[in-house]
Amino acid sequence: MSRRNRGNAGGTYVNNVRGPTSALTSFLNERGIRRANPAPAPPPENVADNGDDNNEEPASPQDQAAPSSSSSTPAPASSSSRLTRTARLTRGRALPTPSTSASRSNELDGVNDDSDSDDSDSDDSDSDNKNLIPIAVSTSTTRAVRATRSRVAAVASSSSSSNTVASSSAPSSTAKAKAAAAAASKKRPRKKDASDDSDDEDFHDITGHISRSNFSHKGRIPQGSNKIVFCSRCRARFTIKAGTTPAVDEDDGGLLCPSCAGTGSPGPLKNTLPKAKPVKRARRKAQKAEIECHIPTLQDLCIQKIANSIEDVEAFGDISDISLDKICKIISRNRSLNAETLQLFLDARHSELILYDCTDITAIGLQNIAQFCPNLRSLKLKLCGRITNEVMDYYTEHLTKLASLTLIGPILILEHTYIKLFETIGTRFEKFELKGSSRFSLKAIKALCDNCPNITHLRLGDCNLMDDEWLEPIAGLTKLKSLRIRNPEPDKLTTSAVVKLVQAVGSGLEELELKGCNGLTDEVLVDAIRPSCVRVERLNLSGCEDLTTEGVETLFKDWSVNSGLTYINLENCVMLKDEALMAVTEHSGATLEELNLSGMDEITKDALQTLTRCGLKIVGREGDYVDLRFM
Partner 1 sequence: MSSLTPAESEYVTLESSDGFQFVIHREVAMLSGTVKNMLSSPGHFTESMEGVIQFRDIKAIILEKVCKYWYYKARHLNSVTEIPHFEIEPEYALETLMAADFLDT
Residues near partner 1, by CB under 8 A: 141-144, 189, 193-194, 196, 292-293, 295, 297-299, 301-303, 305-306, 309, 312, 315-317, 319, 323, 326-327, 330-331, 333
Nearer of residues 235 and 439 to partner 1, judged by Cβ: 235
d(CA 468, CA 497): 6
CB of 355 to partner 1, least distance (A): 17
How far does Cα 466 stand from its chain's mean position? 28
Nearer of residues 57 and 300 to partner 1, judged by Cβ: 300
**Most distant CA pair in the chain, distance:** 96
Distance in Å from the first CA to the final CA of the chain: 57
CB of 320 to partner 1, least distance (A): 11
Asked if 136 and 150 touch (Cβ cutoff 8 Å), the reply is no
Nearer of residues 217 and 326 to partner 1, judged by Cβ: 326
CB of 141 to partner 1, least distance (A): 6
Nearer of residues 270 and 294 to partner 1, judged by Cβ: 294
CB-based contacts of 491: which residues, under 8 Å, 6+ apart? 518, 519
CB of 231 to partner 1, least distance (A): 13
Cβ–Cβ contacts within 10 Å for residue 330, how many? Answer: 15
Nearer of residues 247 and 291 to partner 1, judged by Cβ: 291
Nearer of residues 23 and 293 to partner 1, judged by Cβ: 293
CA distances (Å), origin 459, targets 391, 406, 414, 432, 510 = 22, 9, 18, 6, 13
How does DSSP classify residue 338? B
Q: Beta strand pairing status for 511-513 and 538-540?
A: parallel
Nearer of residues 344 and 434 to partner 1, judged by Cβ: 344
Nearest to 157 by CA among 123, 124, 133: 133
Nearer of residues 130 and 326 to partner 1, judged by Cβ: 326
d(CA 539, CA 483): 10
CB of 255 to partner 1, least distance (A): 19
CB of 291 to partner 1, least distance (A): 11
CB of 590 to partner 1, least distance (A): 34
Q: Beta strand pairing status for 247-248 and 378-382?
A: unpaired
CB of 181 to partner 1, least distance (A): 16
Q: Beta strand pairing status for 378-382 and 237-240?
A: unpaired
CA distances (Å), origin 511, targets 137, 145, 256, 502 = 43, 55, 72, 11
The one-letter code for the residue type at 448 is: L
Nearer of residues 140 and 521 to partner 1, judged by Cβ: 140
Nearer of residues 325 and 527 to partner 1, judged by Cβ: 325
CB-based contacts of 314: which residues, under 8 Å, 6+ apart? none
CB of 138 to partner 1, least distance (A): 12
CB of 391 to partner 1, least distance (A): 28
Residue 525 burial by Cβ neighbours in a 10 Å radius (0-12, 13-18, 19+): buried
CB of 329 to partner 1, least distance (A): 8
d(CA 187, CA 126): 16
d(CA 130, CA 329): 22
Asked if 308 and 318 touch (Cβ cutoff 8 Å), the reply is no
Nearer of residues 319 and 354 to partner 1, judged by Cβ: 319
